[in-house]
Structure 1
Amino acid sequence: MSAVVQVTQGGPKSFTPTEVILGGKLVEGRDNGRIGLAAANSLRVLGVSITDGQSPDTAQGGTTFDSIGRPVINAMPIPTVVSVAYSGTEVKVEYSAAAKFGEHLVSTGLGKVGPAGADPDPRTIVGKCTQPAGVAANAVGLIRIA
């Protein structure tokens, strides 16, 4: 097929979230065309969020009121778009279990990763631990996204 328009080159790519997503979390595609925190052993992982964001459906307006009723305007609302790093990118992510340098990783739920174990479904591999000293449980470390 000739004259195909390239969509992205290297990323990241931005998506609209279905929920609050913080940077450094594994995200997956959802049926409504949005993203959410990746579930355990997800087959729909898109990558790792590198920015914070919230659903535009739950975003609060820019005006609230102080204790005596004066309007307080929020100059920095939470974004309603999240940037996601993917395929071949090396970023920091939250680990739910300890992982060794070079180990394959899978989604363990709530946007975290952990070791894949001896015989994982290859479709669930999301990357490799690239933190030279490995990563402790409930710590943040490097991943090379698959």
Structure 2
Amino acid sequence: MSGLNINLEHGPKGYVAEELITGGQVVAPGANGGVKVAAADAEVVLGVALVDAGPTDVTVEDITIARPRRTSVAYGGVEVKLEYTGMLAFGDTVGVAEGGKVKKHAAGAKVGIVTAVPTTTHALVRLY
């Protein structure tokens, strides 16, 4: 009989950023095992990026600033405050909007459920 490796950790999990990612954006699997910003109505999502990251450093005039290459991704039962588009209400199920934001679910993967009355720009979402 084979043994199973049970993972009791509920995140976050670190991934290499395959494009510029801002903390709070919904992310999807990238082409090379990393993550990218999830497209609107994405069918597959991994969770929400917790920190900014990107594949390259940023240069401002003659100064180069190191940018983290990896981002932590929250998932599975974690509550995060996310920027949303359109109208959201307490108890709504959310999906992915343009730019990795969330919106009331209409198509694609279900990201989570709104667990408190949203402000005008952000909603507290329990991730699936």
Quote the Cα distance in structure 2 between the aligned partners of 1:145 and 1:111: 14
Deviation of 1:98 after TM superposition, in Å, equals 2.3
Deviation of 1:99 after TM superposition, in Å, equals 0.5
Q: How many residues align?
A: 127
Return the TM-score normalized by structure 1. 0.76
| Matched residue, 1:59 | 57
| Matched residue, 2:44 | 44
> Percentage identity across aligned positions?
33
Change in 2 beyond 3 A, CA 1:128/1:78: same
Code of the aligned partner of 1:128: I
SS at the partner of 2:97?
strand
Quote the Cα distance in structure 1 between the aligned partners of 2:53 and 2:117: 31
Quote the Cα distance in structure 2 between the aligned partners of 1:54 and 1:31: 15
Match for residue 128 of structure 1 among 95, 103, 113? 113
Task: Indicate the RMSD between aligned Cα atoms, in angstroms.
Answer: 2.3
Deviation of 1:79 after TM superposition, in Å, equals 0.8
Q: Mapping of 1:1-146 within 5 angstroms?
A: 2-7=2-7, 9-55=9-55, 58-59=56-57, 65=62, 77-116=66-105, 120-121=106-107, 124-130=109-115, 132-136=116-120, 139-146=121-128
Change in 2 beyond 3 A, CA 1:5/1:79: same
Q: Which protein shows a greater Rg?
A: 1
Deviation of 1:106 after TM superposition, in Å, equals 0.7
Return the TM-score normalized by structure 2. 0.86
Deviation of 1:60 after TM superposition, in Å, equals 5.3
Code of the aligned partner of 2:110: I
Deviation of 1:89 after TM superposition, in Å, equals 0.8
Displacement over 6 Å in runs of 4+: none
Quote the Cα distance in structure 2 between the aligned partners of 1:127 and 1:22: 19
Change in 2 beyond 3 A, CA 1:26/1:2: same
Q: Deviations over 1:82-125 (max 9, x none)?
A: 00000111111111222000100010121110011xxx45x521
Quote the Cα distance in structure 2 between the aligned partners of 1:8 and 1:80: 26
Kept in 1, the 8 Å contact 2:117–2:123? The answer is no
